[in-house]
Amino acid sequence: MSNDSTDSIVEKPVRSPCVSICALDEQDICTGCQRTVDEITRWSRMSNDERRVVLGLCDERAKASGLMWTVGGAH
């Protein structure tokens, strides 16, 4: 019997930034969560590391567009 505790630790999935305001702008970026169409469709198949990268991109897009949006809802 293996007693390797790292095998039993499972990281929780990074939550989707979806805020149920689903509308695409002229650049096909969701005005609610700031993800691209590709990022939205691939989200369920992304690793947590990939999801964190996307969340960072969403934050950058929101800041660049002047929106008050931050990862995790912190202000």
- What are 49-65's pLDDT values in tens digits? 999 999 999 999 999 98
Please report the pLDDT score of residue 55 as a whole number: 98
How far does CA 32 lie from the centroid of its chain? 12
Please tell me the pTM assigned to this model: 0.76
pLDDT bracket for residue 16 (50, 70, 90): very high
> In the structure encoding, which two tokens stand for residue 28, read together?
């096909």
Q: What is the pLDDT of residues 24-52, one digit of tens each?
A: 999 999 999 999 999 999 999 999 999 99
Extents of the domains making up the chain: 18-66
Residue type present at position 13: P
